[in-house]
Amino acid sequence: MEMQMEMSYVWAVVITGLVVVFLGLVLLIAFISIVGKIFSAIDKSKKNKTVESPSKDAGVASVDNGFSAVSDDTEVVAAIAAAIAMMGIADNTTYKIKSIKAANNTRPSRSAWAVAGLNESTSPF
């Protein structure tokens, strides 16, 4: 009888623990998903406004220099510009960026950076 009571206590602990852990994380899923949807909607409306009125963004000059295909990836553009500037210093040549367009890949491919990161992350094995 005592052993049975002990096992009932054990099962009570197990079931309570599993239920509480799942409940807690399901609540977190709900909250994080709601926040994610709110911010996705905000990002979408921002992109729609940028597409509707590109002439208002005089500082970006996206239409004239062909940057519009990269849309709001200004950090990517800055990184590319910095890399090309460094190339110019190394070659003692001045390069001019005429356009930047995202590659239109029809199948998933991995950049050299991704391959390098993957190799570094899995190198202990």
**Contact positions vs another protein (CB under 8 A):** 6-7, 9-11, 13-14, 16-18, 20-29, 31-33, 35-36, 39-40, 43, 108, 110, 114, 118, 121-122, 124-125
- Cβ 15 to another protein shortest distance, Å: 8
CB-neighbour burial class of residue 60 (10 A; exposed 0-12, middle 13-18, buried 19+)? middle
- Cβ 78 to another protein shortest distance, Å: 17
- Alpha-carbon distance values, 118 to 63, 79, 109 (Å): 36, 21, 13
Give whichever of 30 and 85 is closer to another protein, judged by the CB atom: 30
- The amino acid that residue 32 corresponds to is I
Give whichever of 92 and 109 is closer to another protein, judged by the CB atom: 109
- Cβ 109 to another protein shortest distance, Å: 9
Chain Cα centroid distance, residue 44: 15
Round to whole Å and give the CA distance between 107 and 109: 6
Number of residues that this document lists for the chain:
125
Round to whole Å and give the CA distance between 26 and 120: 34
- Cβ 34 to another protein shortest distance, Å: 10
Task: Please answer whether residues 66 and 99 qualify as being in contact, where contact means their C-beta atoms are separated by less than 8 angstroms.
Answer: yes
Give whichever of 55 and 109 is closer to another protein, judged by the CB atom: 109
Give whichever of 34 and 85 is closer to another protein, judged by the CB atom: 34
